[in-house]
Chains A and B, each alone.
Chain A
Amino acid sequence: MNSFTVIALAIFLPFLSAATVPLAQKILRHRVGWFASAMAFVSFLLIAYVAPVVIHGDTFTGAVSWLPSVGVEFSVYIDGLSLLIGLIASGIGIIIMSYSNGYMSHKEDLSRYYQYLLLFMGSMIGMVFSANTIQLFIFWELTSITSFLLIGYWRHRPLSIYGATKSLVITAAGGLVMFIGFLILHSITGTFDIPTILHDSSMIENIKNHDLFLVTLIFIFIGAAAKSAQGPFYIWLPNAMEAPTPVSAFLHSATMVKAGVFLIARIHPIFSGTEAWFILVSGTGMATMVLAGFLAFRQNDIKGILAFSTISQLAYLVTMYGYTTYHEPGIGVAAATFHLLNHATFKACLFLVAGIVAHEAATRDIRKLGGLRHEMPLTFIVASIGALAMAGIPPLNGFLSKEMFYESSVEMGAALGFPFGIIVPAIAVIGGVLTFAYSIKLIDGIFLGKRKDEFLPHHIHEAPYVMLIPAGLLSVLVILFGLVPSIPVHNIIEPVTSGILLETVHLHVTHWHGFTPAFMMTIITFVLGLLIYTKYDSLASWQDRLNASYPWISVNYYYDAIVNNARTNAYRVSSFVQPGFVKTYINALLILTIVLIMIPMIALSGDLIPQTLSFDINPYEALLMLLMVVAAIAATVLPKYIPAIIALSSLGYMVSLLFIYLKAPDLALTQILVETLTTIIFLLVIVRIPQTFREKLSKANLTRDVFISGLVSVGVFIVLINATQGIVPPFESLSHYFIEKSVSLTGGHNLVNVILVDFRGYDTLGEISVLCLAALGVYNLIHSRGER
């Protein structure tokens, strides 16, 4: 098999298996989760199968035709970056789906749960291997949608629904903005294909010098930031914690939120090396890192702490990918990539521990937990490994990548010169200090200290192995990557880094570099971190007080204001646009029609009334016209409905007579039949309402009505008099075309019918659809009337 087939299989296998989950459930019952994790395992193997291609620094592109008319293919681009995230998505997927076997109660709708998970996994794999922006966008939005479904998995909980909606609104809207960015990129480069742009340095140069460079960058970055919960878009992630905990571990820490970071890394070669890139990406990252780290203090829910910590850790990655200067457009790339992998391991591990604790102790409130180390020793060990890695304690993997973060911050600061030489490393250290503090809080709050018997069940068991082993496996990875960093670094981090920087990179990661600035910063981090930890609770309550007295300080305040008021605002708009009075609609319709007709008439033709008029009317026609005028006047002046309707329909019949006279049998027939039916329906309705329509019209209304009808009749008169004289110069008649082509193209001699069903088939299709909708609309109108 070639690599393209393998990856295409890896993408579509999860989708296919999602379809077969209900079937598998019939056989496996509540053990259906093992089926899902087996499928994830196969996907993992398939992705791993192509790894050798990439590890030697090569890339691979393959495509099949999909939408040739717009130049879009279904194409796959395999490089280190896509491989890394693809492996994380499927690998963590195996662990999560196995773990879910223990976590999810057998009474839950398991098949729906695993279907969503598999769909998500397929979308994620599809997204990272996408070689063109259209395909990337589609899979990107699919991950948003599956995330929405998973957050709202417990449909009966209002908070789940709130969280799900919020995440969808923010991430999907961000995705749309990103799509605009992609379209601008297409208009600059003329291609949707990502590798084409990446491997063409003159095209990249062209983008960087283009006027729309900044706009494109901002649009695409907004998509990435919304997905990765950066900047003001962070607000959806804490609410996403309403999802079942394995979902949070999978989507909202290890994989989906990495999509934004992935995108930043993907477009890194195109946009980096510019000031705008550094200011936008690193600036957002730094602000988010410090703010989210700080806000984590206020959380009482363990998952809340983990959510804010995820935001802050993602901000590390964003910051590092943003470290770029003109000379060295990739100072932090290796560090960021390594941290991306490490974060996936230790954060997923911590989430799984949170799930275990909630499962056994029946609460996730850190104020109620404490002293569980005796009852859950294994969980305690696993959790400590995860949390210490996050805090950056040697020799765990978090220490290594944090050290690299500090190193690159110093380097970046030095490259920018004073005062950034101090500011950038200082912000990095602040981020590290906050991370350190809340990591310790997790361990201390759950496992150390005194057991709070009043809040906890009497007996708390160690977790079942089905939950413990997946978490333990991740903690083993944490240690392994920490002790022997060369395994991940040589096999995956180097190819990714060289893929992003487009040059060969050799990394050397060790624990001891000597007394470098980065080492000093680590020492400072530990000391300050411990100091801040002693003030942890008072900082948290200060935040609470601040938020209580100034609610507008929070971004959530604005989100709620906009979304909760959407209904009232929509009502206001629609009650303005749709007041519900037929009279208003008709007035608007008539005025608009006349204005739209008159503008081109006046603009294009010199005279409104033709200079020479030739009237050639024979007596029969004149008589018919006269009768029509009488009927029209009668329809307006008759004091009761039924006579007025009869007058109106007699007018219609006379029009059809006129059609016959003008040798248009089709029109005449139609006119007669439609007139008949409308008259009957009109009468059916009208007999139900009071029979006189003598209403008192105010003077203003009367003036308005007279004005409108005057306008309309003058307008129609002018149009008709021009049309009958055959002089409406700018508008050429179409009928010649139809007369010429009707027999040769369609084989039909009845022009009216041929136009309806063949030349204008599209229009007719639209019209009959409208007719169906109108019928259904009448049904609704009649049936919904009494309900208000």
Chain B
Amino acid sequence: MTTLITKTISKASVPLIILFSISLLIAGHNSPGGGFIGGVMFAASLSLLYVVFGLDYIKSVLNPDWGKWFGFGLLLSVLTAFGAIFFGYNFFRSSIKFIHLPFIGEIELVSSTLFDIGVYFVVIGSLLYIFRKVGDDK
């Protein structure tokens, strides 16, 4: 079912989709987006690759252990949640900091973004893990 057209378009679009998913992740605090959506978008773009080029081909090119991704994500989220304890606050207390950088301007640093990055990795890891397991199954 894969034609040259779909192959070419996927090659061009997948990097863009991934970039877009990262921007969704980072911008999520103030405009539409967030770790979950970003993660699902990342997973969707890679599944496009899987479908278009076939599982075996993609695995020979790019075969990360998705299990590690969601493990890392979960760890990051939990650590963020615990982080507040080390500063003497309650579990899960978030913090905001505004930093002024030259040329770029004011940046808002939020601890919950770190948490969101954890979510991002968990979503990517577990979805693609499931996807590949189901697809791999003979």
- A interface residues (Cβ-Cβ under 8 A, vs B): 665-666, 669-670, 673-674, 676-677, 680-681, 684-685, 746-750, 752-754, 756-758, 761-762, 764-765, 768-769, 771-772, 774-775, 778-779, 782
Contact B96 A746 (CB under 8 A): yes
Contact A774 B130 (CB under 8 A): yes
Contact pick for B119, options A764, A774, A775, A782, CB 8 Å? A764
What residues on A are CB-neighbors of B112 within 8 Å? 746, 748, 754, 757-758, 761
Instruction: Select the residue from A684, A752, A753, A772 with max chain B CB neighbours within 10 A.
Output: A753
The residue of chain B having its C-beta at the shortest distance from the C-beta of A761 within the complex is B92
User: Which B117-138 residues have C-beta < 8 A from chain A?
Assistant: 118-119, 122-123, 125-127, 129-131, 133-135, 137
Contact A749 B31 (CB under 8 A): yes
Compute how far the CA of A752 lies from the CA of B24 in the bound complex, rounded to whole angstroms: 13
Contact B77 A747 (CB under 8 A): no
User: Which B49-73 residues have C-beta < 8 A from chain A?
Assistant: 51, 66-67, 70-71, 73
What residues on A are CB-neighbors of B73 within 8 Å? 768
Name the distance in Å between B4's Cβ and chain A's nearest Cβ.
Answer: 21
Contact A748 B126 (CB under 8 A): no
Contact pick for A769, options B67, B74, B94, CB 8 Å? B74
| A670-B36, A677-B127 known; A747-B96 Cβ under 8 A | yes
| A761-B112, A761-B115, A782-B137 known; A768-B122 Cβ under 8 A | yes
What residues on B are CB-neighbors of A764 within 8 Å? 77, 115, 119
Compute how far the CA of A666 lies from the CA of B133 in the bound complex, rounded to whole angstroms: 29
User: Which B72-130 residues have C-beta < 8 A from chain A?
Assistant: 73-74, 77-78, 81, 92, 94, 96, 108, 110, 112-113, 115-116, 118-119, 122-123, 125-127, 129-130
What residues on B are CB-neighbors of A782 within 8 Å? 133-134, 137
Name the distance in Å between B20's Cβ and chain A's nearest Cβ.
Answer: 11
Contact A772 B41 (CB under 8 A): no
B22 at interface, CB cutoff 8 A: no
What residues on A are CB-neighbors of B8 within 8 Å? none
Compute how far the CA of A287 lies from the CA of B13 in the bound complex, rounded to whole angstroms: 83
Contact pick for B70, options A670, A681, A752, A775, CB 8 Å? A775
Contact A750 B108 (CB under 8 A): no
Contact A666 B115 (CB under 8 A): no
Contact B34 A680 (CB under 8 A): no
Compute how far the CA of A778 lies from the CA of B92 in the bound complex, rounded to whole angstroms: 30
What residues on A are CB-neighbors of B134 within 8 Å? 681, 684-685, 778, 782
The residue of chain A having its C-beta at the shortest distance from the C-beta of B113 within the complex is A757
| A666-B32, A750-B31 known; A757-B116 Cβ under 8 A | yes
What residues on B are CB-neighbors of A673 within 8 Å? 37, 40-41, 44
Contact A677 B43 (CB under 8 A): yes
What residues on B are CB-neighbors of A761 within 8 Å? 81, 92, 94, 112, 115
Compute how far the CA of A746 lies from the CA of B73 in the bound complex, rounded to whole angstroms: 22
Can you report 13 A-B residue pairs in the complex whose CB atoms are below 8 A from each other? A666-B34, A680-B47, A680-B131, A681-B131, A747-B29, A750-B33, A754-B29, A756-B34, A757-B94, A772-B122, A775-B126, A778-B129, A782-B133
Compute how far the CA of A444 lies from the CA of B30 in the bound complex, rounded to whole angstroms: 88
What residues on A are CB-neighbors of B71 within 8 Å? 772
Compute how far the CA of A681 lies from the CA of B115 in the bound complex, rounded to whole angstroms: 27
| A753-B33, A753-B116 known; A768-B74 Cβ under 8 A | yes
Name the distance in Å between A313's Cβ and chain B's nearest Cβ.
Answer: 50
Contact B126 A774 (CB under 8 A): yes
Contact B130 A765 (CB under 8 A): no
Contact A749 B30 (CB under 8 A): yes
The residue of chain A having its C-beta at the shortest distance from the C-beta of B50 within the complex is A680
| A762-B92, A764-B119, A775-B129 known; A680-B51 Cβ under 8 A | yes
Contact B32 A665 (CB under 8 A): yes
Contact pick for B135, options A684, A746, A754, A774, CB 8 Å? A684
Contact B133 A778 (CB under 8 A): yes
| A673-B40, A782-B134 known; A752-B123 Cβ under 8 A | no
Contact A748 B122 (CB under 8 A): no
Contact B44 A677 (CB under 8 A): yes
Compute how far the CA of A670 lies from the CA of B35 in the bound complex, rounded to whole angstroms: 11
Compute how far the CA of A747 lies from the CA of B113 in the bound complex, rounded to whole angstroms: 11
Compute how far the CA of A684 lies from the CA of B71 in the bound complex, rounded to whole angstroms: 25
| A666-B37, A673-B44, A757-B34 known; A747-B131 Cβ under 8 A | no
Name the distance in Å between A2's Cβ and chain B's nearest Cβ.
Answer: 29
Name the distance in Å between A204's Cβ and chain B's nearest Cβ.
Answer: 39
| A765-B81, A779-B133 known; A771-B123 Cβ under 8 A | yes
| A670-B40, A768-B73 known; A748-B125 Cβ under 8 A | no
What residues on B are CB-neighbors of A748 within 8 Å? 29-30, 110, 112
Compute how far the CA of A775 lies from the CA of B113 in the bound complex, rounded to whole angstroms: 24
Compute how far the CA of A23 lies from the CA of B28 in the bound complex, rounded to whole angstroms: 52
Instruction: Select the residue from A758, A779, A782 with max chain B CB neighbours within 10 A.
Output: A758
Q: Which 5 A-B pairs have the closest CB atoms?
A: A775-B126, A753-B34, A747-B96, A673-B40, A749-B30
What residues on B are CB-neighbors of A769 within 8 Å? 74
Contact A768 B119 (CB under 8 A): yes
What residues on A are CB-neighbors of B115 within 8 Å? 757, 761, 764
Compute how far the CA of A676 lies from the CA of B45 in the bound complex, rounded to whole angstroms: 10
What residues on B are CB-neighbors of A771 within 8 Å? 70, 122-123, 126
What residues on A are CB-neighbors of B129 within 8 Å? 775, 778-779
What residues on B are CB-neighbors of A666 within 8 Å? 32-34, 37
Contact A669 B119 (CB under 8 A): no
The residue of chain B having its C-beta at the shortest distance from the C-beta of A780 within the complex is B133
Contact A765 B77 (CB under 8 A): yes
| A680-B47, A749-B29 known; A768-B110 Cβ under 8 A | no
Compute how far the CA of A638 lies from the CA of B40 in the bound complex, rounded to whole angstroms: 29
Compute how far the CA of A673 lies from the CA of B124 in the bound complex, rounded to whole angstroms: 12
Compute how far the CA of A754 lies from the CA of B74 in the bound complex, rounded to whole angstroms: 19
| A669-B37, A680-B47, A761-B81 known; A778-B30 Cβ under 8 A | no
Contact pick for A772, options B30, B47, B126, B133, CB 8 Å? B126
Contact B94 A746 (CB under 8 A): yes
Name the distance in Å between B14's Cβ and chain A's nearest Cβ.
Answer: 14
Compute how far the CA of A779 lies from the CA of B36 in the bound complex, rounded to whole angstroms: 22
What residues on A are CB-neighbors of B119 within 8 Å? 756-757, 764, 768
Contact B37 A772 (CB under 8 A): no
Compute how far the CA of A768 lies from the CA of B76 in the bound complex, rounded to whole angstroms: 12
What residues on B are CB-neighbors of A765 within 8 Å? 77-78, 81
What residues on A are CB-neighbors of B122 within 8 Å? 768, 771-772
What residues on B are CB-neighbors of A756 within 8 Å? 34-36, 116, 119
Compute how far the CA of A756 lies from the CA of B110 in the bound complex, rounded to whole angstroms: 14
